[in-house]
Amino acid sequence: MVNEIDPQELADRYTAQWNVSDAAERRAAIERLWAEDGAHILHPPAEMRETAAGLGFDHPTLEARGHGVVRIGWEAVSAETGDVVGGGSDMLVLDDDGRIKTDYMFPGS
């Protein structure tokens, strides 16, 4: 059974890991947040999927298995101007310890 998870606290820690500049601190944050066998799976933008299809590759099929699924919406903001420069959403599948087992990323959604 997955430990009780505060979705906002999980989203805060997930977002923070992308912004830690110190390598040792970033590594520690990742190890606390991710399962050892965790996977980050990117759902490519439409342009990449179209190019891949033109080369004979099928569109990716994404599958979430297990329990402890959390959806996070996010925006990328320029540190210089404060302008939103991108965004998307992620589906996180958690392990029994509440750490990320699989991260399905959907930029632009």
pLDDT in tens, 6-59: 888 988 998 898 888 898 998 899 888 888 888 777 777 777 778 778 878 776
Confidence check: pLDDT of 60 > 70 = no
Q: How far apart are the first and last CA of the chain?
A: 31
Rounded to 10 degrees, the C-alpha dihedral 39/93/105/57 comes to 60
Confidence check: pLDDT of 97 > 60 = yes
Domain spanning 7-107, CATH architecture: Roll (3.10)
Residue at token pair 């965004």: 87
pTM for the complete prediction?
0.57
Taking the domains of the chain in order of start, what are their residue ranges? 7-107
